[in-house]
């Protein structure tokens, strides 16, 4: 296994050839040659996906004699583990929904096929930073982007006006705003640093230019404690220690109450935030506004990503060409994307879908900001490239423990970051990956 993993993804150029070989070996001679009907199985957690798939089965799928059956699954690490377990038995489904950060793990285990020959022509429908997440920086394509989570700044428009605050354009201004609010209203905080949300921190580091996993020759390089990430850690750790922002976890009753009552008046989040605010702070409908994420310098225009997933074809599929055709349709077809937005509540990765159909009008919670999705689409185009590795789960779990303790004790975030780095490297070496310093 260690040797296989090194050959599969350590130098992802090798992964290209392996993926192509797998595609040639496992490709179907049924639908591709028109010799008979094909049945595909799709593992996904997106709500209402069965209704979206019905559009395929009753339309283009029917014409091509390709039927897709949805099998609902849990998300996150639970699904990744299930996919890998099924793959070991050579019984993985034809298609899987996979978060972007999970792709290197699945590719390193030879679970995903290279479908560049089948879906490469849809590249132009996605922002460069989004498409890059499915290629792992190679000429291979291991999935088609489905939904994304470009990060943004949300704030209580009414309370910013009440306290004479300006929307921060830079992180330095963000810190100044937090201090100004605390002086004017000591019982309030601008926002919270939630140490249990590793995905948020990863997105902030991504915006700052961090590349946590990269390859060099036949080895991985882990740079979780690089200069960009240390800058982010010092910034947020400093604000927590100073006491000008809160340090409670998000999505808990206390946090919901803080948002709903105006005890916290801003939130660094992603495009999906309106749905969360609808349930967390129902009394504040129409009082929020969205703006681009603060920048590290005024000459920058870049955002990070928090969340998002893709549709991938497995190496176990006997009908990879047919599966790739469905994956492309699902994430680029106008009707499919509208249905995904309506039934699954997703924000599409396809740039053309971000300003049409379900996104022609603002979210109901933001009816006061009619240009919400116009702004969101512009921000999405500035998404920075990511650099995921084969053990994101270990890095995230260690982050939650190390940063959780640091936030609670208001201690050094840089030390916590180093702990995440060391744990991630140790785990990769244990798995048999070559790691360079």
Per-block mean pLDDT, blocks of 10 residues, the chain (437 long): 41 35 36 68 96 97 96 92 96 97 95 96 93 91 97 98 98 98 98 94 97 89 96 96 95 97 98 96 98 96 96 98 98 95 93 89 95 96 92 95 91 94 96 89
pLDDT score at 9: 55
The Cα–Cα gap between 135 and 16 comes to 9
Number of H helices, E strands in the chain: 19, 10
The Cα–Cα gap between 75 and 98 comes to 8
For 79-109, b where at least 16 C-beta lie within 10 A, e where not — what string? bbebbeebbeeeebbbbbbbbbbbbbbbbbb
162 touches 214 (CB < 8 A): no
pLDDT score at 29: 40
Question: Which pair of structure tokens corresponds to residue 327?
Answer: 């994956």
Cα–Cα–Cα angle for 334, 337, 339, rounded to 5 degrees = 110
Give the residue carrying structure tokens 């070989």: 21
pLDDT in tens, 279-288: 999 999 999 9
pLDDT score at 358: 85
Closest to 293 measured CA to CA, from 268, 272, 316 = 268
The Cα–Cα gap between 252 and 379 comes to 28
Name the strand (E) or helix (H) holding 405: helix 392-409
pLDDT score at 4: 37
pLDDT score at 36: 66
The Cα–Cα gap between 166 and 169 comes to 9
pLDDT score at 21: 34
């Amino acid at each position: 296994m260690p040797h296989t993993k090194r050959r599969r993804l350590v130098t992802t150029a090798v992964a290209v050839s392996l993926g192509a070989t797998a595609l040639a070996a496992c490709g179907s001679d049924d639908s591709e040659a028109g010799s008979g009907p094909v049945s595909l199985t799709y593992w996904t957690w997106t709500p209402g996906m069965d209704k979206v798939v019905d559009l395929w089965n009753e339309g283009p799928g029917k014409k091509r004699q390709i039927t897709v059956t949805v099998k609902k699954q849990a998300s996150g690490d639970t699904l990744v583990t299930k996919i890998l377990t099924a793959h070991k038995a050579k019984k993985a489904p034809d298609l899987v929904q996979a978060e972007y950060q999970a792709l290197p793990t699945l590719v390193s285990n030879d679970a995903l096929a290279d479908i560049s020959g089948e879906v490469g022509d849809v590249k132009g429908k996605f922002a460069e930073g989004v498409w890059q997440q499915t290629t792992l920086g190679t000429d291979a394509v291991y999935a088609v982007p489905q939904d994304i989570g470009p990060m943004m700044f949300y704030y209580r428009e009414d309370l910013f006006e009440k306290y004479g605050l300006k929307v921060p354009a830079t992180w330095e201004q963000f810190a100044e705003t937090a201090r100004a609010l605390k002086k004017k209203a000591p019982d309030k905080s601008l926002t919270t640093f939630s140490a249990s949300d590793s995905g948020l921190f990863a997105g902030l580091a991504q915006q700052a230019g961090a590349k946590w996993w990269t390859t060099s020759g036949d080895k991985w390089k882990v740079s979780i404690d690089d200069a960009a990430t240390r800058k982010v850690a010092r910034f947020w750790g400093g604000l927590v220690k100073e006491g000008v922002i809160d340090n409670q976890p998000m999505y808990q009753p206390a946090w919901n109450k803080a948002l709903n009552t105006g005890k916290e008046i801003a939130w660094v989040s992603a495009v999906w935030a309106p749905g969360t605010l609808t349930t967390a702070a129902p009394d504040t409908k129409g009082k929020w506004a969205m703006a681009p994420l603060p920048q590290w310098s005024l000459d920058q225009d870049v955002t990070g990503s928090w969340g998002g997933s893709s549709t991938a074809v497995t190496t176990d599929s006997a009908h990879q060409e047919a599966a790739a055709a469905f994956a492309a349709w699902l994430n680029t077809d106008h009707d499919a994307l509208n249905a995904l937005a309506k039934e699954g509540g997703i924000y599409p990765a396809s740039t053309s879908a971000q300003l049409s159909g379900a996104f022609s009008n603002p979210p109901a919670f933001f009816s006061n900001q009619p240009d919400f999705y116009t702004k969101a689409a512009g921000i999405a185009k500035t998404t920075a490239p990511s650099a995921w590795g084969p053990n994101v789960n270990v890095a995230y779990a260690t982050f939650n423990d190390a940063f959780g303790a640091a936030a609670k004790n208001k201690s050094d975030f840089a030390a916590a970051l180093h702990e995440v780095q060391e744990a991630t490297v140790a785990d990769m070496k244990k798995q048999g990956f070559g790691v360079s310093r």
